Structure 1
Amino acid sequence: MSTYRLFELNTFIRRFVALNLPEPVWVQAEVAEVDERRGHFYLALMEKTEDGQEVAAQAKAVIWSRTANQWQRTNKLLLHDLLQAGREVKLQVQVSFHERYGLQLQVQDLDANYTLGVMAQQRQRTIDELMAAGLLQANKMLRLALVPQRLAVISSPAAAGWEDFMAQLRDNPYGYDFEVQLFPAAMQGAQASPEIRRQLKTIERRRDSFDAVVIIRGGGARMDLADFDEKELCFAAAQMTLPIISGIGHETDQSIMDMVAHTALKTPTAAANFLIDRLHYLDQQLAGARQTLQQQTSQLVQRKAFELARLGEQLKFQQQQLLQKEAWKLDQYAQQVPQLVRQILDKASSKLEQLQQLQDLLSVERQLERGFALLSVGDEIIRNSHQLAQHDTVTLHLQDGTTTVSTAPQDKKK
C-alpha cells in the first residue's frame, strides 16, 4: 500500500477535480449560513435527507464581490435579500480544490427564479395549511376596540419605521394620547421569525394590558417580505387573541402576515394614521351624537313647554267652565231653596195637622164621647184587674160626668 504525503494527496484530488469537472455545474441546495464580508458572500450549503431529520451533504461556497455586484446589477435584486438561511437555491458553481483550503464551490451565477419559485410554493403551502386549520381569517374575526390606545408594538428600535410610527402618533392634530410599549425584534433576516414569535408569546401572556398588537417595519426590498411568509411565524400570529395591525408591506405586495392580520396597512405611518383616524371617527360620532342629543333635548323641551302651555290654557278654561257651572248650580239652588223650604214647611205643617187630628181622635174626651169609660183612683188610671182589686172604690169617668163606684163583692157587704 502506497503512502502519500498530504500535499501529494491533495494535489492529486485537485487534478482529479479539475480533469473531471472542468466546466461550471448547477447545484441545488439549502442555505445553512450566510456571511457577507467586504462584498463577498460566504455560504454554508447543505442537503437534508428525505425525512428532513439529518444532513445528507454539505459544502462551502463563495460569491466573490465582483461576481456579486455584476449579478445584482443584471438581475436588479440584492443577494443578501435572496440568500437567507433555510432557503432553497440553485447555483452555478465552479468546483475547485486547493491543497491548503480544500474543496470550494465558487458561485458564478444564481437562478433567482428557482428560489423565488420554491418560496412561492412554500408560501402557497402555508396559506393552504392556514385555511385548512381555520386560521387564515381567525384574527380578522376578533373585535378591535373602539378606542385602541394601549398598543403593543413589535419592531426594531433602530428602524426608521418605528420612529415614523411614534412621530405620527405623538404629533397627531387632535391631541389623542396613546400608551405604547415596544417589544423589540429583528424585522428581517434569519432572526426575524424567532424573535417576533417570542415577542408574540410575551404579549399574549399580557393580553389584558393591550388593545392591539402592531407589527411594523421600515422600508426595505421586496424580498424582505418573505420573512413574514414564514410558516411558524404566521401560525403564531393567526392564533393570537389580540387583533394584529400590520404595517410591513408595500403598495403592490402582500405577505401572509398581512393576510392573517386583523388590519393590514402598507407602512408604519399608515398604521399610525389608521389608529388616529379610528379615534377621530369615534370622536366625530360622539360629537354628532352630542349635537343630535342637544337638538333632540331642545326640541323635547320646546314641545313639552308647548304642551304645558296648552295644558295650562286647558286647565284655565276648565276652571272657568267649572266655576261657571258651580255658579249656575248655586243660582239654581238659590232659586230652589225658598221653594224647597216652602215645600218642607207645607209638608211639616200638613203632618203637624195630621198629628193634631190624630191627637184629637185619641184624646180622652173623644174616647168618652164614643162610649168608653175611664176608671181612676185619684190621679192613677186603672189599666188592669190587678190594680182594680187593690181598691174598694174607684172613680168612673163618663161623657157626662164622673161617679164613684164600689168594687167590693156583694156578700162582703152583707
Structure 2
Amino acid sequence: MNPLSVSQLTQQIQQVLESELAPVFWVVGELADFRVAPQGHAYFELVEKQENKLLAKIRGNIWQFNYRTIAAKFESITRTSLKNGMKVLAQVSVNFHPLYGLSITVKDIDPSFSLGERSRIRQETIDRLTREGLLRLNGNLPLPIVIQRIAVISSPTAAGYGDFINQLDQNGYGYQVSHQLFPSLMQGNEAVGTLISALDKILFQSENRTFDAVILIRGGGAQLDLDCFDDYELAKKIAAYPIPVLTGIGHERDETIADLVAHTRLKTPTAVAEFILESFRIFEENLGLSLRRLDRATRSKLREESTKIQQLELRLRGKSMQMLNSNTDRITTLSKRILMGANSTLKIQTVELDNLARGIKKSTKLLLDQQEAKLTFLESQLRQLDPEAIFKRGYTRSEVNGSPIGSGDITEGATLKTYAEKMILTSTITQIEKK
C-alpha cells in the first residue's frame, strides 16, 4: 500500500476534474441562501428539489466583475433582481479547491429561462386550480349592489394605496365608503405568508363587523415581483374565501393567478376605487329611474282609478236614485197601510177601552157600595161598644188602681173608682165575697 496524503488526493481530484470535465456547463437549479458580499461578489447554493425534497446542492459564486454584468442584464429583461427561490439556467464552470472543496463559478445566467419557467409554473398552478374546481369559486359569490364596507390589503406606504384611499374619500359625489386597512407585504419571499395572514385576520374580524368585499391592491412593478400573486396557496385561499375579493394589482399586461381566482379583477388601485364609486352611481341612477317610473306608474294608476271611481259614482248615483224612488213608493204604500192599520187598531182599542171603563165604573160602584155597607155595619158596632153609650143606658165601670175589676188581685181596703155618665165615685172596699 502506498497511502496518499489528503493534499495529494485533492490534487489528483482537481487534475481529473480539470482534464475530464468540459470548461463550462449549462445547469438548471434554484437559488438558495443568495447574498451579495460588501466587495460585490455573490454567494449562493444551487439546489435541486422534487416536491420540496432536496435532491442535490452545490456551492456557487459570481465574482464581482461578472455579477455586475449578469445582474444588470437580468434586471433589464425580467425587471427584477436575482433572489432566493428563483429557478435559473446558469452557465457555470466546475472548480475544486483542496481546502474549500467543490464549487461552481457562474459565467452567465439566461433571463429568458426564468421568465419561461415562471410561465410554466404559473400554468401548472392554473391547471391544478381548474381541476379542483376553485378557479371561479369566489367569482360566484353575490356582490352587494352598493359596496359600502371594505377591508383593504395593501402596504400602508404604497403610493397605490394612497391614491386608492384619496379617490374614495375625496369623491365628488359625497359617497361614504367605510374602509379598514390590513397591512401586508406585497412582494418578496414573505409576501405570501403575510397576505394569507391578512385574509385570516379579516375573516376573524368579520364575525363582529360585516365587510361587503375584500380589496387587494398593489401598484405596478416588475413582472417577477408579482410572483407572490401566482402562489397556489394564496390563490386557493382567495378562491375559497367567503367574501368577494377584488384585485387591483396594477399590472395591465398580464393577469396574475390571484386576478383569475378573484371575484373581480381591475387593472389598478384607482380602477378599484372607481369600480366601488360606480356601484354607488349606478344604484343612485337606478333608484332615480325607479322613482320616476314609480311616479309615472302611480300617476297613471291614479288617473285610471279616478276614472273608475267617477264611473262607479255615476252608476252608484243612478242605482241609488232608482232604489230611492222604489223605496219611496214602498214607504208610501207601507205608510198608508200602517196608518189604516193604526186607525183600525185605535178604533178597536177605543171600543175596548170604553168597555173597560164601563166595567171598571160598574165594578167600582159595586165595590164602593159594599165597602160603604161594611163601614155602616162597623160604625153601628163601634157605637154599641162606645163606653158613652153604655153609660147612657145606666151602666157604670169600676177600676182598682186603674185596672178593671177581675183583671187582678183586689184586697179589702183598696180604693175603688166607679165611672158613670156624669160622675166618678170613689169608694173603699170593706168586704169581698168570692163567687
Return 5+ residue gaps in structure 2 as ranges: 345-435
Give the TM-score normalised by structure 2: 0.66
CA contact (8 A) 1:249 1:255 kept: no
Partner of 1:295: 296
CA contact (8 A) 2:156 2:183 kept: yes
The SS at the match of 1:33 is strand
2 CA distance for matches of 1:251 and 1:150?
26
Partner of 2:205: 206
Identity among equivalent positions (%) equals 34
2 CA distance for matches of 1:168 and 1:26?
50
- Alpha-carbon distance, 1:103 to partner: 6.2
Shift in alpha-carbon separation, 1:85–1:233, aligned structure 2, 3 A: farther
Partner of 2:173: 174
1:373-412 equivalence runs, <5 A: none
Shift in alpha-carbon separation, 1:189–1:182, aligned structure 2, 3 A: same
Partner of 2:117: 118
Shift in alpha-carbon separation, 1:269–1:63, aligned structure 2, 3 A: farther
Shift in alpha-carbon separation, 1:303–1:86, aligned structure 2, 3 A: same
- Amino acid in the other structure paired with 1:173: G
Give the TM-score normalised by structure 1: 0.69
- Alpha-carbon distance, 1:160 to partner: 1.2
2 CA distance for matches of 1:173 and 1:249?
24
Partner of 1:236: 237
Partner of 2:142: 143
2 CA distance for matches of 1:37 and 1:172?
49
1:36-55 equivalence runs, <5 A: 40=40, 42-48=42-48, 50=50, 52-54=52-54
1 CA distance for matches of 2:40 and 2:294?
70
- Alpha-carbon distance, 1:128 to partner: 1.7
- Amino acid in the other structure paired with 1:35: R
1:274-289 equivalence runs, <5 A: 274-289=275-290
CA contact (8 A) 2:36 2:42 kept: yes
Partner of 2:70: 68
- Alpha-carbon distance, 1:61 to partner: 2.3
1 CA distance for matches of 2:36 and 2:303?
79
The SS at the match of 1:158 is coil
2 CA distance for matches of 1:78 and 1:61?
22
- Alpha-carbon distance, 1:279 to partner: 2.2
Q: How many residues align?
A: 335
CA contact (8 A) 1:144 1:211 kept: yes
1:136-194 C-alpha deviation (Å, 9 max, x unpaired): 11111111122222211111111111111111111222221112111111111111111
Partner of 1:128: 127
1 CA distance for matches of 2:94 and 2:309?
103
CA contact (8 A) 1:249 1:258 kept: no
The SS at the match of 1:134 is coil
2 CA distance for matches of 1:142 and 1:160?
30
Partner of 1:163: 162
CA contact (8 A) 1:149 1:177 kept: yes
- Alpha-carbon distance, 1:327 to partner: 5.9
1 CA distance for matches of 2:193 and 2:221?
20
1:257-276 equivalence runs, <5 A: 257-276=258-277
1 CA distance for matches of 2:168 and 2:262?
21
- Amino acid in the other structure paired with 1:46: L
1:37-96 C-alpha deviation (Å, 9 max, x unpaired): 7895735223246564335223132364531355248x633341xx34323211113445
- After superposition, the CA RMSD in angstroms is 3.6
1:348-391 C-alpha deviation (Å, 9 max, x unpaired): xxxxxxxxxxxxxxxxxxxxxxxxxxxxxxxxxxxxxxxxxxxx
- Alpha-carbon distance, 1:216 to partner: 0.8
Larger radius of gyration between Structure 1 and Structure 2: 2
1 CA distance for matches of 2:158 and 2:104?
35
Return 5+ residue gaps in structure 1 as ranges: 346-414
- Alpha-carbon distance, 1:253 to partner: 0.6
The SS at the match of 1:76 is helix
2 CA distance for matches of 1:244 and 1:225?
18
CA contact (8 A) 2:80 2:223 kept: no
1:279-331 C-alpha deviation (Å, 9 max, x unpaired): 22122222222222222223333333333333333333333444455566789
- Alpha-carbon distance, 1:20 to partner: 6.3
Shift in alpha-carbon separation, 1:268–1:308, aligned structure 2, 3 A: same
Q: Which moved more, 1:263-272 or 1:305-314?
A: 305-314
CA contact (8 A) 1:32 1:43 kept: no
Partner of 2:400: none
1:331-410 equivalence runs, <5 A: none
